[in-house]
Amino acid sequence: MLVVMKRDATATDVEGVIRKIESLGFKAHPMPGAQRTAVCITGNPGAVEPAHFEFLPGVQDVIRVSKPYKLVSRELKPDDTIIDVRGVPIGGGSFAVMAGPCAVESRDQLLAAATAVAKAGAAVLRGGAFKPRTSPYAFQGLREEGLRLLDEARRETGLPIVTEAKDVETLSAVADCADIVQIGARNMQNFSLLEAAGQQPKPVLLKRGLSSTVDEWLMAAEYVMSRGNYKVILCERGIRTFETLTRNTLDLGILPVLRKLTHLPVIVDPSHGTGIRHAVTPLSRAAVAVGADGLMVEVHPDPPSALSDGPQSLTPNDFMDLMRDVRAVAAAVGLRVVQPGGLTQPAS
């Protein structure tokens, strides 16, 4: 259920609606938008009687949300959500590139990758400190030491950091360091982790599960938002299909569909989406053209020596070429590519 406020509703009117929702024992989620504020009701076991709200001051309409997800839905918030990550806007007509190594391996490796991606024009640095690996014998990440190195790379380059929280146990250490907390594909339906991520203040980058439908993915985002953290970035990273020539099948066709369903920003990861280095730049161009809000790309100073995902990692030179192509396509479709530091270049 949604309580849509009039355009000229005051803060006191919104407060009155929130108090009414809470007095009924439910949770109120006020969502200010460009045109109006809507207050979403969750926690109600059955239908809520609209008459509770219809005659409160400032209320324009009381609407039932038709989708199972509410807070992620465009019905609640018609305008795009823009998430500010230390001055870098994600969503709403700008294009932000997140890049860096799959895993933080050493100080030299991370600083080389970080300075290279910053120089090429990435807006956010990625790097895993806690790595979810298929094999228990594979490199699991530098863990706390990896976080410390990410912090150093942030100070060195000025780029905000996105890094993965692998479990509830390490979430608070990750959230203390990260500017964006990543929840990986394998954890998309780790409901305890989603709830815990919803109870901390950093933006959450939620990757699509290995074999998840869009409805399941949006319900996972709803878990985070239902706990009060509305800063969720969706990341399409490919799904498992019958095709085995690529690591995953990058589902770019879902971008225009997601645009209609949700106000949340959506970025694309062509590295995990294909698993093939030479496919990353072509799919990045396609992601810009199809209307994504950004990219997540793996870059390694020496891919053959990478401790994880070398075959899909770009060299710094490859990444320079990728950024050049991204800028060209962005200009053609009227998107602004976010510069390091968050300043946007005018669309030409």
Which residues of this protein are in contact with ligand PEP, per CB under 6 A? 102, 128, 132, 164, 184-186, 207, 237, 272
For 293-305, give one letter per residue: b (16+ CB within 10 A) or e: bbbbbbbbbebee
Is there binding between residue 236 and Mn ion (CB under 5 A)? Answer: no
Is there binding between residue 269 and Mn ion (CB under 5 A)? Answer: no
For 311-334, give one letter per residue: b (16+ CB within 10 A) or e: ebbbbbebbbebbeebbebbbeee
Q: Minimal distance in Å, beta carbon 270 to ligand PEP?
A: 11
In the complex with ligand PEP, which residue's Cβ is closer, 237 or 336?
237
Interface mask (CB under 5 A) for Mn ion, residues 301-320, using x and -?
Answer: --------x-----------
Q: Minimal distance in Å, beta carbon 126 to ligand PEP?
A: 7
Contacts with Mn ion by CB under 5 A: the residue count is 2
Quote the CA–CA distance of 63 and 50 in Å, as a whole number: 8
Q: Which residues contact 334 (CB under 8 A, 6 or more apart)?
A: 93, 347
Q: Which residues contact 254 (CB under 8 A, 6 or more apart)?
A: 214, 236
**H/E element holding 154?**
helix 144-157
Is there binding between residue 105 and Mn ion (CB under 5 A)? Answer: no
Q: Minimal distance in Å, beta carbon 189 to ligand PEP?
A: 13
Is there binding between residue 185 and Mn ion (CB under 5 A)? Answer: no
Q: Minimal distance in Å, beta carbon 331 to Mn ion?
A: 29
In the complex with ligand PEP, which residue's Cβ is closer, 87 or 191?
191
Q: CB–CB of 86/261 below 8 Å?
A: no
Q: Minimal distance in Å, beta carbon 199 to ligand PEP?
A: 21
Quote the CA–CA distance of 335 and 333 in Å, as a whole number: 6
The footprint of Mn ion (CB under 5 A) covers: 102, 309
